[in-house]
Structure 1
Amino acid sequence: MNSKRSAGLALMIGAATAMTPAAQAQDFAADLEKEQTGDLDPLVVQGEETPVKVGDVQVKADELENTIATDLNDVFKSTPGVTVNGGRAQAQQVFINGLESNLSNVTIDGAVQGNISHHTGPLSIEPELIKQVNVFTGAGNALEGLGALNGSLQFETKNAFDLIKEGKEYYGLTKGTYFSNGEGYRLSQTFAARLGEDWALMISGGFTDRDDYEDGNGDTVDLTEYSSENILLKLSGRLDGGHSLDIGFEHLNSDTFAYDRLNVTEDFLTASGRPTGVLQRNDIGRDSFTVNYGYDPGNNPWINLKANTYYTAQDYSRETTGDSAQLETFGFSIRNTSEFSEVFSSTYGVDVKSTESDVTSSSYGVTNANEEEFSYGFFMQNDWQIHRMFALSFGGRFDVYDFEDIAGTQLDSSEFSPNVSLAFKPVEELTFTAGYAEAYRGVGIREAFFPTVKPAGLDGENADTFKITAAYERDGFFADASYFDQSIENYIYPVGGAASYGDVTNDGYEARAGYQKDGYVFSLSVTDNSPEVEGYDYPDDIGMVVAGRQWIAQASYSPEDTGITFGGNIEYREDVEEVAFGSFPAVAGKESYVLVNAFVRWDVEQVEGLSLTLNVDNLFDEQYQDHTIFTSSGFASPGREFRVGASYEF
């Protein structure tokens, strides 16, 4: 560890997040344990009524239902600091504070997700099945997992116990949605049933079919039609003695017609002299098998065990040319929390992951290329309530990476990553924190579809993040602000992962204020960040994006005893001044835009279990492009879209 990174361990005073009314009743030490050392405040998007972490930037518990979320853009469109590029659903990529999610540890029910191709989306998830999403930004605490240079993105799907109401033996949900823009539909069916006192089973499936959508000018955006299917099966047990078990299988597949680059238009390729490739059917899919076990006896402060194991197979194939890439990941993690006293606890354990990629690509002259990566890490995170007003969290992890490239070159590395944070709470309504954390990712598989020979001396990447935050909450009013400064040393360019592009630097801020009481919710947030690679000519490029300052205003109201909720949000994205460079004009400036979205949901009292939803995205038909690195070459974003949904619970 170099002196610069070691010096960063000096503790600095700062500030933390606001408390929700429910959180004020909690013990402060428990709050700190949830705080996650050294992270920027985690963002939580919830699909149902579950406890939320203190001070999280959050979407309402039923937000995903209210807006009939159908893709990643819908999931995160009200979440400050998270940007999802536009265009076809199969090419959507998530950027967290300007850095792509491939720099984070991304998991779905604990199963680690990899990156197939930078021209396709790395994430396959069905929003309808999401229970909760946690986004921890920046190099984080020891619990964030392997390779968490920019924190972690954690998806959790629903299980039968989340759906079956107390005293009931079964649950059913039938849903249908109509889309006006890119005329299409989605149908889904979910069943859940108790299998005795301790076990329950959930089965869910859905199918979506959509045509090409129109942009804000009313022009059809060619090659944006697609169809998709998903299946989720989960067997869950809640057993005596504090044991819990969830065994899940998930299948997703989406197909669309496209040229070689799913996120680049044909017109741009032709005008710039690049080959388009063959127009053909492209399939993107994922199959995952997960087992999650928990043991909390309740009367033993030394044991609170969580363990999971998983197998994930991600696939990308082109029907005509036969190009294909597969990314298989197997792994497990075990962690236990021990309370040594009322004021001190430790969480410790091990992560293990094995990943293998196979690619056949006649378009790029690659035949049956294979890369293998094996990594593991030991970690410990400690939480210490020093005083009524002070709490300290500190820990670290030691990670080891073994990698073999397509030529048989072996690259091994290991490193220790520490973290520390201090929280100061002078009064119940006000909290201050400061934190510093480091993370390490060794040389490994960066992108399955573009394997390369790695130089023998290539080193891994080191990240560090310093954060300060301040927050206040009282009588329904809340306000918080944070500032972060992060860097990634020896950033490895993600396409091929064969060369270092120098150091990434990124700093930014986020501020939020609002009011929540008596069915009313109002909030206004602003966020900005500026990632860059020192000495590199492009203002942004693959792996990061300068998206510009973002303002989000949100409001909703639920009149008592009506079953109706209505609201919406306004997003204003400021412009970004950039100059195209050389022969690769992927960056050509980004124009500002304003989006207005609205929804109304009615839980029909006269028909128990029936809910009707109307959602309008881009109400005023704004012509725009989401701010991504492919602004000059990517697809225009959709114009106004009505979504009409009906669901029936039984």
Structure 2
Amino acid sequence: MKNKAPQLAIGGLIAASFSSLLAAQATQKPLTVFNTVEVSASRIEQTAQKDTRSIDSINRDQLDEIQPTSVADALKFEANVTMAGGPIAGNQSVNIRGLEGNKVLQVIDGSRVNTNFSHRPSYFLDPALLKSINVVKGPVSSLWGSGAIAGVVSQQTLSADDLIKTEGTPGGLIKAGFNNNGDKLTATAAIAGKNNAFSWLAAASYLDSDTMEQGNGDTLFGAETENLTALVKLDWQLNDSSRIGLNYRTADTDGHPPVVGSAEEQLNDADNLIDRETTDEHISLNYHYNPASKWLQLDANLYQNDTRIEERNLNDGKDISDIETLGFSLTNQAVFGQLNLLAGVDGYEDTLNTDRPDNGDGRPNPPDNAKTTTVGAFVYGDYAITSSVVLEAGVRYDSFESKAAGFDNSDEAALSPAIAARWQASEWAALSLRYDEAFRAPDVYELFMDGIHFSFYPGGPSNIFVANPELDPETSNNIELKSEFSFSDIIGQDKVVIVASVFENKVDDFIQLSVNVPEDMPFTCFIPGMGTGCAGTSTSENIAKAQLQGFEVAASYQLDALTASLSYGQTRGKDEDTDEYLAGIPADKWVATLDYGFWSIDTKVGVKAIKTSNQDKTPSDDTQGPYKGITTVDFYASWEPSQKSLEGVKIDLNVANAFDQNYRNAWASVYQPGRSVKISAQYRF
């Protein structure tokens, strides 16, 4: 039986804190209301889509409070956004409204990230170097092209302006943290300067984690990780209208994750871990030309991403995968009276190189030196018909080609239109209706994978991959209704904000891996060396028509130093042809947050609770479910002294999964970490 003392102590502390809250005479201090959206994915920000889309935003203060282990972990409190990839931070990714993986576009500092390895992670940025994360829910191909069927996860790294207090004087931060679950140590340092037209920033973070513990006391294997991330930014204001910038980022990770990588069907077994070394490198050159003209606001970006993963597999073979992306974008925003117009062209080439030595164990064979080239152009405009009605419309055209040696080329094109309207019905109510079409081009793994998928036993009957260069892109059409309500001064200087969205997203030509295994095999298949292909074939096919429907509602209440919020998200997904439930659809989720600022002692305390329903809506071939609903509670506190002698000091405490629940998320087979007490201290100068 577990010791109940920690739960009772924490519960008593919170009860005492909120009893004091009722009697406290606190001085009001500015708070960030949960629904405040600071969208810095420039294409959204430059159009009226920032108002008609469902967008969740996590700012720097919230990141300090959560102390997330990954980008996905930072987003787990958002409605209809869940963490995919299992409990190991290095394998985690983001699920938006039931879609994940290569159906969610990742953008960092305005540059798209196309890293996509089969059964391998794609999120490498340490949250310690982020100032915000924005999640755009729903298809966004009209602005970004391929890959945004589910939405966009946009990450913004620290900039010089975030650290500098006085121009001409360097500013920075030093931060250290510890998590008792896994003896995880973190350290972050950043320094920046600005003098006249030139600014610069240099930052680095370090992480070292051991194995963790699950809620039932069992060891969670695979969490052992060492990570070093560095960031450099240079900006030069050439003149009043021109600015040039250089952005360099690199991350090196050495870990021992489960053999299946980022897939959900993992095993929590010390003998089922591999060695993985990951190097992720990015460099971009940006140019901004914004003269005193409303019709010319030009942004140009040239970038290169290179991600290399080296793995030592269970048979001691070394697998190497390397994706290099070379891309550009050129956009211009023009304002003609009530018409705001954003237009642009962009393109990128992804090159995948792999090395999988054949040790005789029978392994998949990803394509080597495979390339995907994409060029697109778009125009998007919004027009204010009246002071209360704004119309939007836009379209994007993309042409893309994929090729690999020994296979036929795959050539496709796609058109992505969008239209929306927003009506500010009153000072306190607004309604938005939008329609979007989007697409995702098949990746080279889906097009060109061959080799052995699996064997019954080493040297025995095997199932082989069959390439399919004729795959069509996935396409989707989404309709969404959004409502916003805001009320002030109800029982004092308070504020209530309610935001709700209803959506239906239909995805046609859904790409799935079809695995066909014959019921009977001839005896010759069991002769050593004769069983290749006897266990059938696996090939990617356009076979499913997915229908995803759902809604989300979020409400916040703020009175002086008290903030409370409650959200609910629900998504349903089915194959329209078979009426089967789709895998990967998140469980219904409630999230409640309550925090209060004791400004007389420079302290804010809060609690976040997640409650999910049972997920029993699973396809007939699912072997892991049904999945039991969960309830987890996190407590947090921040102390930021106002004394002059301690200016710049901040201490954050977070108790994640405070009651040590032993649980797993829907669609995962391995249970999450148990109670984690995280503390960090930082000094800004």
Counterpart-to-counterpart distance in 1, 2:82 and 2:130: 19
The aligned amino acid for 2:190 is T
| Residue identity matched to 1:282 | R
Are residues 1:616 and 2:655 paired?
yes
- Identify the residue that residue 346 of structure 2 maps to in structure 1: 351
Q: Which residue of 1 aligns with 2:279?
A: 285
Distance 1:336 1:250 in 2: 26
Say whether residues 1:106 and 2:143 are aligned partners: no
Separation in 2 of the partners of 1:447 and 1:212?
34
Alignment of 1:288-437 (within 5 A): 288-297=282-291, 299-319=292-312, 320-341=316-337, 343-362=338-357, 364=363, 366=365, 369-437=368-436
Question: Structure 1 residue 458: deviation in Å?
Answer: 2.5
Of residues 478, 488, 501 in structure 2, which corresponds to 1:465? 478
Compared CA separation, residues 409 and 266, structure 1 to 2 (3 A)? closer
1:389 CA drift (Å) = 1.9
Secondary structure of 1:503 counterpart:
strand
How far is 1:268 from its partner?
4.7
Q: Give the aligned CA root-mean-square deviation in angstroms.
A: 3.0
Provide the rounded CA distance (Å) in 2 between the counterparts of 1:407 and 1:37.
45
Aligned pair 1:563/2:602, yes or no? yes
Give, in angstroms, the shift of residue 210 of structure 1. Answer: 1.0
Partner of 2:59: 46
Alpha-carbon separation, structure 2, partners of 1:618 and 1:338:
49
Query: Aligned in 2, Cα 1:224/1:449: closer, same or farther, shift over 3 Å?
Result: farther
1:10 maps to which residue? none
556-565 vs 86-95, which moves further: 556-565
* Among 628, 634, 640, the residue aligned to 1:597: 634
Q: State the AA in 1 paired with 2:261.
A: L
Partner of 2:77: 78
Q: What pairs up with 1:518-537 in 2 under 5 angstroms?
A: 518-535=560-577
The letter for the 1-side match of 2:274 is Q
Deviation at 1:21, TM superposition (A): 12
Give the residue type in structure 1 aligned to 2:674: G
Q: Measured at CA, do residues 333 and 396 of structure 1 come closer, stay the same or move farther in structure 2, by a change above 3 Å?
A: same
CA deviation map 1:140-188 (0-9, x unaligned): 3622343322232211111112211134510121111111111121122
1:619 is paired with a residue whose SS is coil
Query: Secondary structure at the residue paired with 1:90?
Result: helix
Shift of 1:224: 2.2
Q: 2:629 and 2:430 mapped to 1: Cα distance?
A: 35
CA contact (8 A) 1:113 1:123 kept: no
| Separation (CA, whole Å) in 2 of partners of 1:358 and 1:514 | 48
Q: Does 1:516 align with 2:587?
A: no
Write the distance in 2 (CA, Å) between the matches of 1:177 and 1:406.
Answer: 48
- After superposition, the C-alpha distances for 1:589-617 in whole angstroms (9 at most, x for unaligned) are 11111110111111133422221111100
Distance verdict in 2 for CA 1:531–1:154, change over 3 Å: same
Equivalent pair of 1:116/1:315 in contact (CA under 8 Å): no
Give 5+ residue unaligned stretches, structure 2.
1-31, 38-42, 451-464, 489-494, 515-537
Given that residues 259 and 266 in structure 2 are in contact (C-alpha distance below 8 angstroms), is that contact kept between their aligned partners in structure 1? no
Q: What CA deviation, in whole Å up to 9, does each residue of 1:117-138 have, x standing for no partner?
A: 3433221111111122222222
Stretch deviating more after TM superposition (254-263 or 432-441): 254-263
Provide closer, same or farther for how the CA distance between residues 279 and 534 of structure 1 changes in structure 2, counting only shifts above 3 A.
same
Per the TM alignment, residue 303 of structure 1 is displaced from its structure 2 partner at its CA by 0.9
> The residue matched to 1:530 in structure 2 has which SS?
strand
**Residue aligning to 2:187:** 187
TM-score normalised by structure 1 residue count: 0.85
Local SS of the residue matching 2:670: coil
Q: Counterpart of 2:468 in 1: which secondary structure?
A: coil
Aligned residue type for 1:358: N
1:232 aligns to 2:231 (yes or no): yes
In structure 1, C-alpha distance between the alignment counterparts of 2:477 and 2:318, rounded to whole Å: 42
Tell me which residue corresponds to 1:131: 131
Residue number among 536, 543, 554 corresponding to 1:501 in the alignment: 543
Which consecutive residues of structure 1, in runs of 5 or more, have no partner in the other structure?
1-18, 25-29, 48-61, 271-275
- 1: CA distance, partners of 2:227 / 2:53: 34
In our comparison, the structure showing a higher alpha carbon Rg is: 2
2:504 to 480, 485, 489: 485
SS at match of 1:378: strand
Report Cα offsets for 1:557-585 as digits up to 9, x if no partner. 22335432221210001111156745x62
Residues 1:649 and 2:648 aligned together: no
Distance 1:108 1:236 in 2: 17
Taking structure 1 as reference, are residues 536 and 201 closer, same or farther at Cα in structure 2, changes over 3 Å only?
Answer: farther
Determine helix, strand or coil for the equivalent of 2:674: coil
Judge conservation of contact 2:145–2:438 (CA < 8 Å) in 1.
no
1:20/1:646 Cα in 2 relative to 1: closer, same or farther (>3 Å)?
closer
Q: 1:230 to 1:312 in 2, by over 3 A?
A: same
1:548 is matched with: 587
Which runs of structure 2 are paired with 1:192-271 in the superposition (5 Å)? 192-194=192-194, 196-263=195-262, 268=267
Contact 1:115–1:447 (Cα < 8 Å) also in 2: no
d(CA) in 2 for partners of 1:599 and 1:21? Answer: 16
